[in-house]
Structure 1
């Protein structure tokens, strides 16, 4: 419903209808009133829209509006009355409008919330959130169901900021369209587990017996430990190749196996200490086995590619950055669970359980419970403990560095943590983790000339001491000791 002032023109009404309901690509439009046509394009040899509404319509008048003559949207309009109330800030004001249309979900029949544009068929499908999550969709093709008669036509999407111009004072764009499509999509659970399970089932169906045969050969040649590692490594690698690169083993190529090794397999969240050095040899033997069984013909090419990428894989598998990324995720879950994240033992126990679950192990399985118990009783792989500890140390550095205008100090801290983590003496494994964080930040600030020697107690040094709750003398002593482990 639109309130019009006495001097409102037909062109004003055209603009309101465009801004609120129909505008998509600046198509032409026209009104038909009493047998006469008024076009938005004055060159169409018809009447233009620069004419007062009061000269054309009166209470009870009916007329029509068309937008886009190629894929037209037509509206029937009516003047319902006359009032002494007039818009305050312009010639027209929107004073009421329809509710958003209720459209059934294509799959379940419930109320749809999102429209999925199918540009190949020039058609829209409608889904509720749950049903959309079960489809393969491109987020860029998802829109809210528009409160418009042009919904689904010519890529129309609501523009609440533009429509707001015609609303009464006090309205906001968020009240017109409460959510963006991306906000709704963020709430749709990603069914990763279903995808992984489906991929694993496909791998098993394709080459499951061959994998079992290979694992048995590994057991006979290298023992139970390597056989278990081989089964996990091969299954994970094949699953990644199926999910990420969408190829079965007979279509593997050198580039994809290198990328899968470095980008995907290296991110295994929990592994035995000797896994990084054994993973590539296991995969090479697996490729030889699969070529012998007739599943591929380019094993030598793939083996060469894996060996070439092995150093990068080992670096990625054991890097502090990997631990930091995983740590941040686990830290968030620990805080949600009420775990005291300043208590390393409590957090470590929680983290190990999360890592075991992330690695795909069933925590209800008795064998998994036994191994987990061994981990928590002290027989923890040093690589795992080292990654978590380094990540915790860096996380505190990151918290402090939020006060700086750029990432210069943060990146310097990252380099120091990496150098300390890579040092053969493993200095980060010993001592107070908070003191390590304070010393790393202090050293980074010194190196960037923010803290200079011989100037007394600098304000930034005091700030570091206060933030970490550590005496400045202890920090300076730790910095001096730490520099012995850092490259010149």
Structure 2
């Protein structure tokens, strides 16, 4: 069986597009990222450990992020970020855990620098009913100054996965929740065919967004950036 092509993503610093497997290496050599770091390090203020985290949905592997986070930041800042960019719909509970995530719970008050080593994988769980699980691993570490005033900076993100209209095969921009719930069909539709498509019982279709939470619970999309 042929392998599924790796999803691609884009570097925030230079716009370079590459595969999920190659993004870590690109970020370690990206000249524009290096320039941004040098500019930050030349400013006043204290240096601290700054962690490069590789984040991936455990539900749909095409969704992934590369983040840079202050070592002094507590895990609750990472929880807030994942909710904003990927997950938040109805204020569900969440937790971090080692290994499978459900056991070995890690408190959100713990600092990043007290949790992550190259061998550690945390699993973030959002919503204990319609669950979304996210793997988080350390991909790098530098001693310096953060490049933003926020605790977390986005360095790279997967490109929007392609979706085709179930009626004509053209690029789809809408997801019909009625198809998903009543018929267990991933009903993706283009602008033209959404006009004639029946969806009477579950409200209007929702716009397809770059998130593994799409189609789950009441999720409709991310918060407005910056996160």
Tell me the TM-score normalized by structure 1: 0.30
Q: 2:87 matched to 1:22?
A: yes
Shift of 1:108: 2.0
Q: Quick one: distance in 1 between partners of 2:103 and 2:79?
A: 10
Aligned pairs (5 A) from 1:45-56:
47-56=106-115
Decide which of 98, 117, 123 is 1:33's aligned counterpart.
Answer: 98
Q: Quick one: distance in 1 between partners of 2:100 and 2:196?
A: 51
Query: Residues 156 and 113 (structure 1 numbering): CA distance in 2 closer, same or farther, change over 3 Å?
Result: same
Aligned length: 158
Q: Quick one: distance in 1 between partners of 2:203 and 2:182?
A: 16
Could you say which residue in structure 1 is the equivalent of 2:204? 141
Aligned pairs (5 A) from 1:35-74:
47-59=106-118, 61-74=120-133
Could you say which residue in structure 2 is the equivalent of 1:105? 165
Gaps of 5+ in 1: 40-45, 167-488
Could you say which residue in structure 1 is the equivalent of 2:76? 11
Gaps of 5+ in 2: 1-65
Shift of 1:114: 0.9
When the two chains are superposed, the root-mean-square deviation of aligned CA atoms in Å is 2.7
Map Cα deviations across residues 90-117 of structure 1 (whole Å, 9 max, x no partner).
Answer: 2212222111121222222332111122
Shift of 1:50: 0.6
Kindly indicate whether structure 1 or structure 2 has the higher relative contact order, using CA contacts under 8 Å at least 6 residues apart.
2
Q: Quick one: distance in 1 between partners of 2:141 and 2:203?
A: 45
**Higher Cα Rg, which structure:** 1
Query: Residues 6 and 107 (structure 1 numbering): CA distance in 2 closer, same or farther, change over 3 Å?
Result: same
Which has the larger helix fraction? 1
Aligned pairs (5 A) from 1:92-131:
92-118=152-178, 121=182, 125-131=187-193
Q: Quick one: distance in 2 between partners of 1:13 and 1:51?
A: 11
Q: Quick one: distance in 2 between partners of 1:70 and 1:8?
A: 28
Which has the larger strand fraction? 2
Shift of 1:70: 0.6
Q: 2:159 matched to 1:78?
A: no
